[in-house]
Amino acid sequence: MRLNLRPRTQPEVNLTSLIDVVFLLLIFFMVSTSFVKQSQINISLPHADSAAIVADVPGQIDIMITATGTYLINGRELINNRPETIRNALQKVSNGDHTLPLTISADANAKHQHVVTAMNVAGRLGFVQISIATVNELEAE
């Protein structure tokens, strides 16, 4: 019995179709990807334009905030900086009259949160004439 032995051929892997599929997937993902542009907000902060000092208005309420976060309402220091304490002090000083002008001035090293807390408490009480005191750069030097 004679067996016919054929020479064995090495298997061949055809990568052409695989490369085509990967290339098509790459194009698909590149086209379908959306690029997100981060939004930015430009804020122009207020500054003092004139060197004239505004005279105290009778009945005006002044809130001063120190660098350590201590609140002073019309020159009197509060026992703590909780919003409830600020609210009670503002009600006592204003005698329920929320039409009085209110000025907030803060130390340059005070936290922004303390200023926002004072504005929030005053706004919730109904004060609408809220001003933020600024310092002219020429006076500071």
What is the radius of gyration, based on Cα positions, of the chain? 35
DSSP strands (E only) in the chain: 61-65, 71-73, 76-77, 102-106, 130-132
Residue 51 has a pLDDT of: 53
User: Distance (Å, rounded) from C-alpha 28 to C-alpha 32?
Assistant: 6
Give me the phi and psi of 31, to 5 degrees please. Answer: -75, -35
Q: Which residue has the tokens 């051929």?
A: 9
Q: Where are the domains of the chain?
A: 61-133
Summarised one tens digit per residue, pLDDT across range 57-79 is: 567 899 999 988 899 999 899 99
Summarised one tens digit per residue, pLDDT across range 46-57 is: 665 555 555 555
Structure tokens belonging to residue 41? 């907000």
User: Distance (Å, rounded) from C-alpha 27 to C-alpha 40?
Assistant: 31
CATH 1.10.3720.10 fits 61-133, yes or no: no
